[in-house]
Amino acid sequence: MTDDRPGVITGKTTLFGILGDPIAQVGSPVQFNRLFRSLDHDAVMLPMRVASADLATAFQGLRALGNLAGLVFTIPHKMPMVELVDELMPNGKRVGAINSARPTADGRWQGDMFDGQGCVNALEANGHSLEGRLVSQMGAGGVGRAIAFAFADRGIARLTVSDLDESRAEKLAADLRAAFPDLAAEAGPPGVGNHDTLVNCTPLGMNPDDPLPFAESDMGGGMLAVDVVLQESLTPYLAAADAKGCAVQTGLQMLEGQVREIARFFGVGTTT
């Protein structure tokens, strides 16, 4: 029987937080609190709603909490936090976005990015290889950059990225080409003809009346459809992809794929 409630919280309990706006949809509190409980670790992960305009003030205040041992970041804070931490770990630096930060013994905060590894971990756990894949990706923000770099690490053959902000898509494609000379990375519209993998890295699907990130005509049998949006059931995009015969991976699976890695980054459960 799963028990998602945290353990008793006392004055000795260590705090962790996830910062985002909106915050109601986040899955990290349940995921981490389940892990802490399974490890008998006296800590709790909390939702913290912080507007973009308040991010620097909130982070400044939170780092003054002596029993706060780490933070997780979700939309829209993954890229702005790069400027606010004191030090970037290598993957956070290359991606240019972070989803986690921790304090060192001397009070400096280090940031790193686990979204890409989480997505890859989940795909591989479900038997999907990324080698040679032709990827059409929507969204070149923090999570989009993280997934693109992690997919490139795993040997995809091509990645076409689209973003409402075309310069962001161009920048990601150029950064990928520089880091992976063998990868055909380009900015451009999504298209089914030459793609076998669809990845939504936009927030489309968080609100009920959002349009789909990909047209249904872009989806076909045997493809792989990945979503970063967290919902209790399939997002409309994944439901459409599923109906078209795609294999699907949810935002929750991606989160599950990285919880242990982030916990280790926080110094919790260093043995698997």
Nearer to its own copies, 107 or 245 (CB): 107
List the interface residues with its own copies, window 52-91 (CB under 8 A). Answer: 54, 57-62, 64-68
Among 24, 40, 105, 127, binds its own copies (CB under 8 A): 24
In the bound complex, what is the minimum distance in angstroms from residue 62's beta carbon to its own copies? 5
How far apart, in whole angstroms, are the C-alpha atoms of residue 221 and residue 136? 15
Using rule CB under 8 A, residue 208 touches its own copies: no
Q: How far apart are CA 272 and CA 259, in angstroms?
A: 12
Query: Per rule CB under 8 A, is residue 38 in the interface with its own copies?
Result: no
Is 140 strand, coil or helix?
coil
Among 1, 35, 38, 45, binds its own copies (CB under 8 A): 45
CB nearer its own copies, residue 58 or residue 172:
58
Residue 59 or residue 149: which is nearer to its own copies going by CB?
59
Look at the block and give the residue holding tokens 């110094």: 267
Closest distance of CB 53 from its own copies, Å: 9
Contact in structure between 33 and 61 (CB atoms under 8 Å): no
User: Whose structure tokens read 């490890």?
Assistant: 39
DSSP three-state, residue 220: coil
DSSP states of 83-106 as a string?
HHSSEE-HHHHHHT--SEEEE-TT
Given 78, 93, 171, 244, which residue is catalytic?
A: 78
Q: Indicate whether 4 belongs to the interface with its own copies (CB under 8 A).
A: yes
Q: Which of 145, 52, 58, 167 is nearest to 93 (CA)?
A: 145
Does the footprint of its own copies cover residue 33 (CB under 8 A)?
A: yes
Site for its own copies in 139-168 (CB under 8 A): none
For its own copies (CB under 8 A), the number of binding residues is: 41
E-strand ranges in the chain read 14-20, 43-49, 68-73, 87-88, 100-103, 109-112, 134-138, 158-162, 184-187, 197-200, 224-227, 247-249
For residue 138, the minimal CB distance to its own copies (Å) is 24
Cβ nearer to its own copies, comparing 47 with 269: 47
Q: Is 259 in the site for its own copies (CB under 8 A)?
A: no
Burial environment of residue 90 by CB neighbours within 10 A (0 to 12, 13 to 18, 19 or more):
exposed
The reply on whether position 215 binds its own copies by CB under 8 A is no
From 15-23, 165-173, 179-187, 207-215, span contacting its own copies (CB under 8 A): 15-23
Identify which range of 20-28, 96-104, 111-119, 250-258 contacts its own copies by CB under 8 A.
20-28
Do 183 and 176 meet the contact criterion of CB atoms below 8 Å apart?
yes
Question: Which amino acid type is present at position 110?
Answer: Q
| 93 classed as catalytic | no
The catalytic residues are 78
What is the contact surface with its own copies in residues (CB under 8 A)? Answer: 4-13, 15, 21-27, 29-30, 33, 44-51, 54, 57-62, 64-68
